[in-house]
Structure 1
Amino acid sequence: MASRRRLTPAERQEIVRERCKGVTHKALAERFRVSERTIYYTLRTEKDRRRDTRIRTKQVSVTLTPEELHSFDEVLARHGVSSRSAGVRLLIQSANGVFQPDQHLAEELKSFRAALNRVGNNVTQIAKRLNEARAKGIAPFFGDHSLAQLRLLSGFVLDFADQVDALSRRRVSHVTLEAHKALKEFSDAPE
């Protein structure tokens, strides 16, 4: 068993660096003549210190089209944000207020789902009647009433699609406004 001794700050930093390179806890314990438990505590303490002092250790990567990147740069410039990384950081920090579940959107989609289920049931009933007639060798009755029903159903589906599109556009517009507010708020605040 390794003898007990105190690690110097330089040794602690070296342990963190070596562990990041993939050196095992056991090898580090032998090298620095401490227990494996000391290595675990050293790494955990450093992780807590970095978190508490807000040292940035994680990266986020995103792939964009040239147009998306140009639009993002324009928004950053308009709000006086100095760099892309600062802009992304500000959006992430403010995400709690921007990307909240939208109760109104959820309720609207729930009512749309119920209406779409009714349409689906009607289409199923029409198809069932046509299949039963064909199975019996009878020419299926498809009169003016059935045609009117199909026209109503197709009209409803088109209206439904338009309503979902309008709803999603309103939501995107709302999120965009919230993101702009967040960027403006952070760009005005001292860093």
Structure 2
Amino acid sequence: MAGRRRLTELERLEIVRETRKGVSARVLGKRYSVTPRTIQYTVKREKERRRDTGIRTAQIGTTVTPEELRAFEVVLSRHGISNRSDGMRRLIQSANGVFQPDEHLADELKAFRAALNRVGNNVTQIAKRMNESNNKGLRPSFGPSSLAQMRNLAGFVLDFADQVDLLTRRKTDGISMLVSDALKELADGEE
């Protein structure tokens, strides 16, 4: 076992760099005449120091349309945020209050799914009747009740699409308000 010795700051930085390259704690411990546990502690301490001092080491990226980017920049400028990176960082820091599961939305979507299943069953029944008539060489029986059923079905599908559109717009507006509030709160906090 290696004897106890104190690592210099330069050795600590070299250890962190070598660890990132994949060199094991055991190999580094032998190289610097310390225990593998000392190597692990050194790496852990450096990670904590970087986190505590706010040194940014992780990076994210996303691809957006030009319209989405312009809209984002408008929101940033409205809140006095000078660059995109700072805006994204603020959103990430406040994400806990923005990206919460929406139980109401989930319940409404379940109801929509059930209604859409009923419509699908009706369409299947109509198609089955029409196919049976066609296979027998008969003209499909398509009377006033079938026509009314088809009109109701078409109306339901259109209403369903409108309801889903309205629901998503309300949800998007709600998220936009939360994001704006978060950005405003963070912008006000820096003054």
TM value normalised by structure 1? 0.88
Give the distance between the partners of 2:41 and 2:50, measured in 1 at CA: 14
Deviation at 1:53, TM superposition (A): 4.0
Change in CA separation of 1:115 and 1:31 when aligned onto 2, cut-off 3 Å: same
Which residue does 1:85 correspond to in 2? 85
Pick which of 30-39 and 176-185 moved more. 30-39
Give the distance between the partners of 1:109 and 1:23, measured in 2 at CA: 48
Give the distance between the partners of 1:101 and 1:171, measured in 2 at CA: 12
Give the distance between the partners of 1:185 and 1:140, measured in 2 at CA: 65
SS in 1 for 2:6: coil
Structure 1: runs of 5 or more not aligned: none
Give the distance between the partners of 1:34 and 1:88, measured in 2 at CA: 42
Which residue does 2:40 correspond to in 1? 40
Which residue does 1:146 correspond to in 2? 146
Which residue does 1:6 correspond to in 2? 6
Which residue does 2:23 correspond to in 1? 24
Which residue does 2:72 correspond to in 1? 72
- Give the counterpart letter for 1:153 in structure 2: L
SS in 1 for 2:94: helix
Pick which of 152-161 and 50-59 moved more. 50-59
Give the distance between the partners of 1:128 and 1:91, measured in 2 at CA: 52
Deviations 1:107-154 (A, max 9, x none): 211111111111111111111222223333433211111111111101
Deviation at 1:2, TM superposition (A): 3.7
TM value normalised by structure 2? 0.88
- Give the counterpart letter for 1:148 in structure 2: A
Deviations 1:137-191 (A, max 9, x none): 4332111111111111011101111111111011111111110110000001038
Residues 1:122 and 2:126 are matched in the alignment: no
Deviations 1:18-48 (A, max 9, x none): 323x151244333322233332222122223
Give the distance between the partners of 1:67 and 1:105, measured in 2 at CA: 27
SS in 1 for 2:140: coil
Which residue does 2:156 correspond to in 1? 156
Deviation at 1:71, TM superposition (A): 2.1
Deviation at 1:9, TM superposition (A): 3.0
Deviation at 1:13, TM superposition (A): 2.1
SS in 1 for 2:93: helix
- Give the counterpart letter for 2:35 in structure 1: S
Which residue does 1:98 correspond to in 2? 98
Superposed CA RMSD in Å reads 2.0
- Give the counterpart letter for 1:71 in structure 2: A
Structure 2: runs of 5 or more not aligned: none
Aligned-residue identity in percent: 63
Give the distance between the partners of 2:109 and 2:48, measured in 1 at CA: 43
- Give the counterpart letter for 2:118 in structure 1: R
Give the distance between the partners of 1:17 and 1:188, measured in 2 at CA: 39
Which residue does 1:174 correspond to in 2? 174
SS in 2 for 1:60: coil
